[in-house]
A and B are shown apart, each in its own frame.
Chain A
Amino acid sequence: MRWALADTWTITRRDLIHWTREPGSVLFGLFFTIMIALIFGYLLGGAMNVPGGGDYKQFLMPGMFAMNMLFGIGATMTAIAQDLTKGVTDRFRSMPMSPAAVLLGRSLADMIDSVLLLAVLVGCGLFMGWHSDGSPGDTALAFALLLLVRFAFIWVGIFCGLMASNQAMVTAIQTMEFPIGFLSSAFIPTSTMPSWLGAISEWNPLSSTVTAIRELFGNPGVTSDSWITQHALLMAVVWPVVLLAIFFPLAVRRYRRLSR
């Protein structure tokens, strides 16, 4: 058990060292994220109407936060798949280290990465004029919900990475992030979509998190009276837990099955 923690930390540290050695790729990721926020906030934002009134930037930032939690799947998946194809995973598995540490270390590193990313995004949002009107407790809860959904997405990413047999598959799955991200209430109010599309978007797990944190931040745009929207706070906990209940065991099973 002691070794499981020590080994997990060694694997996590490996990624922290990556950042110090190649800050360029980290900065590029942040630059991309900030650019998207600026494009939506200043370019597309002017054409957007928030139902029930309100500033689009106030509406946008919770969506940006959540979208970036989703986009983390790609990074997790790529890292896992690369270690597999380059034989690094095999080396770990041939060593007397804790087998759990390989995946736990990855999930911990990605969580740290997400906290950093969120901090930068919040800074960017504050610069653009976004702010939370919620109480400090509600605001903290909102960030906790974001990290919870990120944690669930990490395990989706680990599972997909273990399943992907080549880079083409990784890229294919990664491309799916866009439709999944846009088919939600992250950037566009669902009330402006065709009703059937709006319903799908509202049931997107990402939408529950977005709606819940909009409420907690006191940001505008929550108007739908559907059951899923009315219970967004509950569902922002339920969805990640369901995803974890599915993908955590699948990922662990898949990892164990590498020896078949």
Chain B
Amino acid sequence: MAERFAVVAEGLRKRYGDHYALNGFDLTVKEGTVCGLLGPNGAGKTTAVRILATLLRFDEGRAQVAGLDVTTRYREVKRRIGLVGQHAAVDEILSGRQNLEMFGRLFHLTPKRARVRADELLEHFGLTDAAGRPAKTYSGGMRRRLDIAASMILSPQVLFLDEPTTGLDPRSRSEVWQAVRDMVATGTSVLLTTQYLDEADQLADRISVINHGSVIAEGTPGQLKSRLGGDRIDVVLHSVADLPHAAELAGKVAGTDAEIDTDDRRVSVQVTDRVTALVDMAQALKTAEIDIEDIALRRPTLDEVFLALTEKEAA
């Protein structure tokens, strides 16, 4: 049987004046999976989500959600999606329960069904104790969970999450992550936009990296990381005079050229076999009797990821 897709976008273009917010955007999300759309501010993530969630028209291309064309069958699409935007889109004066009942009524549930569904969702998202309190008294994470609960009223096939944890503290972030995992476990497909590599890493089965309105890399988190050059080793030295020698040794161990940062007395090099490289590096520096202050293995930062990808794109 052919694979079924929750989201298909082909060659989407969205123009604002002279500027293309999306410029040949392609994306597929398999049913029952989480796709992370990763990119910097202004890359076109939100535009893509807004188009797929029927909020925005586009100029060229084709978009299908839950097997339905977004342009011609948007009414049916609206019944099958949930949208969680960048702000917690709940009424702050209403209580959590009143919010869910209101949205339930607007999803055309009967008053009784809306009440029952509200209670189910409050329970599921751990908000039962706070159900009667106005939403403005909720913590950021609770408000986000209420927001997600509101988008789950009809148990949608596809859920769009637009930067769901931006501005949240670490504890609230992990609460939201857990809520997303729970939903995926019930079979909902998720398209998630994020600026954070670790968020995509935590939640997504596949990641698409977007820049300037089109996808520039795609794959599983593991594939992308190795494509992006993997980990780095940073060595901070005692003395600036040792920098060239240390860089030479580091280059030898890693098999690539090391970068020198004189201000921070740091040598930085990309490595593939992380642990072996770290051990070899420490050994080599010790043998050469170079005094070091710090040595650390670290993952590429998002900045480096984008730098690497956009350099590739420009080449």
* Given A95-B107, A259-B57, A260-B56: A90 in contact with B89 (beta carbons within 8 A): yes
Cross-chain contact B55 with A259 (CB below 8 angstroms)? yes
Contact of A169 with B by CB under 8 A: no
In the complex, chain B residues whose CB is within 8 Å of the CB of A86: 87-89, 92
In the complex, chain A residues whose CB is within 8 Å of the CB of B92: 86
Interface residues of B in 37-93 (CB under 8 A from A): 50, 53-57, 75, 78-79, 81-83, 85-93
When chains A and B are docked, how far (Å) is the Cα of A13 from the Cα of B101? 11
Interface residues of A in 192-225 (CB under 8 A from B): none
* Given A94-B54, A94-B83: A3 in contact with B102 (beta carbons within 8 A): no
List 19 other contacts, CB 8 Å, given A10-B106, A87-B88, A88-B90. Answer: A3-B108, A7-B106, A10-B105, A18-B94, A21-B93, A21-B95, A22-B93, A86-B87, A86-B88, A87-B86, A87-B89, A90-B89, A91-B83, A91-B89, A91-B151, A95-B106, A97-B108, A101-B106, A259-B55
Cross-chain contact B108 with A96 (CB below 8 angstroms)? yes
Cross-chain contact A95 with B57 (CB below 8 angstroms)? no
In the complex, chain A residues whose CB is within 8 Å of the CB of B106: 7, 10-11, 92, 95, 97, 101
In the complex, chain B residues whose CB is within 8 Å of the CB of A101: 106
Cross-chain contact A14 with B91 (CB below 8 angstroms)? yes
Contact of B103 with A by CB under 8 A: yes
Cross-chain contact A17 with B94 (CB below 8 angstroms)? yes
* Given A87-B85, A258-B55, A260-B57: A95 in contact with B91 (beta carbons within 8 A): no
> Interface of A with B (CB < 8 Å)?
3, 6-7, 10-11, 13-14, 17-18, 21-22, 85-88, 90-97, 101, 258-260
Cross-chain contact A93 with B90 (CB below 8 angstroms)? no
Cross-chain contact B134 with A94 (CB below 8 angstroms)? no
When chains A and B are docked, how far (Å) is the Cα of A6 from the Cα of B104? 12
In the complex, chain A residues whose CB is within 8 Å of the CB of B91: 14, 88
When chains A and B are docked, how far (Å) is the Cα of A13 from the Cα of B57? 31
When chains A and B are docked, how far (Å) is the Cα of A260 from the Cα of B21? 12
Interface residues of B in 92-138 (CB under 8 A from A): 92-95, 98, 102-103, 105-108, 134
Contact of B250 with A by CB under 8 A: no
Cross-chain contact B108 with A91 (CB below 8 angstroms)? no
Distance to closest chain A CB from B53 (angstroms)? 5
The closest CB in chain B to the CB of A22 belongs to B93
Partner of A94, one of B57, B81, B87: B81
In the complex, chain B residues whose CB is within 8 Å of the CB of A94: 53-55, 78, 81-83
Contact of B253 with A by CB under 8 A: no
Partner of A87, one of B87, B93, B102, B134: B87
Task: Give 24 CB contacts A-B under 8 Å.
Answer: A13-B102, A14-B102, A17-B98, A18-B93, A21-B93, A21-B134, A85-B87, A86-B87, A88-B90, A90-B50, A90-B89, A91-B83, A91-B89, A91-B103, A91-B150, A93-B55, A94-B53, A94-B54, A94-B83, A95-B106, A96-B75, A96-B107, A259-B55, A260-B57
When chains A and B are docked, how far (Å) is the Cα of A249 from the Cα of B259? 62
* Given A10-B102, A90-B55, A91-B89: A96 in contact with B94 (beta carbons within 8 A): no
* Given A90-B85, A258-B55, A259-B57: A95 in contact with B78 (beta carbons within 8 A): yes
The closest CB in chain B to the CB of A86 belongs to B87
